[in-house]
Amino acid sequence: MTPTDAAIQKCQSDKCINGYPNSKLECPTCTKNVLKLTKSHKAVHDLVKGISAAASNPDGTYNPFPNFRFTGALRPVYPLSPKRAIPDSIRKPDYADHPQGIPTSERSIDANTLRVLTPDEIEKMRVVSRMGREILDLAASYVKPGITTDEIDAVVHEATIARGAYPSPLNYRQFPKSVCTSINETICHGIPDQRKLKEGDIINLDVSVYYDGYHSDLNATYPVGKISDQDAKLIETTRKCLDEAIKICKPGALFRDIGKAIEPIAKANGCSVVRTYTGHGVDKYFHCAPNIPHYAKNKTPGTMKPGMTFTIEPMINLGPNYSAEHHWPDDWTCTTIDGNKSAQFEETLLITETGVEVLTAPIKTDS
């Protein structure tokens, strides 16, 4: 028998209806669909099998990343709803219609320089910040078991355009929605989808608004129904971290000292401070100088001056692991690497002549 003869194999079927021809050693399914056998052949089968199985949910929803190694119990629930429309009458930021959502203005020298706003600019920041607070409070009123994050996105979107404003996250670096909804182990940038909130979840709603040429940015973490004492303590600790950091803000204070106020509180409560993401300047640019780390012993430069506006937004993880390097294949959702829960609070601040003004503070109502 020659080597060539040895390499030839006949069809192995006991009842071959084609006369036992020489086998091509090819997957019949792929051959039928005109697919070539490659090193990724098995991966293609696994992907198709996974999507098909997930898509068989009675309601038509599915997990688009069935083979991804998630760190916790949370899963995406697709399909995403279509991109929501913006009326032509609404002023848009430069990235709104950019095919890659690139904020070209943020690359300017101006955006990367510490800016002191004029009185007119400060008033515009007050207006858009109040809008942001109104919209966040409205969205928070819908948080309950059974609602989907996509439904919350619709609330935020409609409330924003009703005010003649643009939802800043929409198409920013191709983010597909008008608000970030980060559940449980998600640290930040969760994409609203068809997942229904469940009793015991925690969810962060991150609202950003663009109006009259200026952005505001704020967020908060909320319980969904009754939550565990541990999760309630996480939320309380995170809010305290932000509040204590705000207290040090005044003319002459150093941006690097913000982290010094935050990290000891987190550690004392069995938590850790995320280092990958930071606070930032916000005004006519969605993200600009200064860069504000939330952990101690950072080297960020800069001194606070009257007229500066920026955010402080500590992301606090349960447990000692501060890493935020686990990203889903959607290129946005960032989760803890150990599956532990994470919380966040954020406010937009203005440095005044005598201290600090929380531009996005809760709106006082007459009692």
Report pLDDT digits (tens) over 257-281: 999 999 999 999 999 999 999 999 9
Percent of the chain with pLDDT over 70: 84
**Residue 104 per-residue DSSP state:** G
Q: How distant, in Å, are the alpha carbons of 45, 66, 228 from that of 51? A: 10, 7, 34
pLDDT of residue 20: 63
Burial class of residue 93, CB neighbours in 10 A (0-12, 13-18, 19+) = buried
Over residues 55-68, mean pLDDT? 88
| Distance from C-alpha of 200 to C-alpha of 305, rounded to nearest angstrom | 42
Report pLDDT digits (tens) over 311-344: 999 999 999 988 767 899 999 999 999 999 999 9
Cβ atoms within 10 Å, residue 29: 10
pLDDT at 289 over 50: yes
pLDDT averaged over every residue in the chain: 90
**Range name among 108-117, 206-215, 244-253, 357-366 with the lowest pLDDT average:** 357-366
In this structure, of 38-42, 212-216, 241-245, 330-334, the range with the lowest mean pLDDT score is 38-42
For Cα atoms 357, 358, 363, give the angle at the middle one, nearest 5 degrees. 120
Can you tell me the mean pLDDT for 111-138?
98
The structure tokens 């996974």 sit at: 50
Distance (Å, rounded) from C-alpha 245 to C-alpha 264? 11
**What confidence score (pLDDT) does residue 283 get?**
98
Q: Tokens 């987190």 belong to which residue?
A: 266
Average pLDDT on 98-119 reads 98
Confidence check: pLDDT of 57 > 60: yes
Strand order in 342-344's β-sheet? 271-273, 315-318, 342-344
Report pLDDT for 16: 61
Q: How far apart are CA 46 and CA 25, in angstroms?
A: 19
Asked if 104 and 215 touch (Cβ cutoff 8 Å), the reply is no
- In this predicted model, what pLDDT tens digit does every residue of 3-56 receive, in sequence order? 444 445 666 556 665 666 666 555 555 544 444 444 445 544 454 454 444 445
Question: Which residues are paired to 214 by β-bridges?
Answer: 211
Q: What one-letter code names the amino acid at 170?
A: L
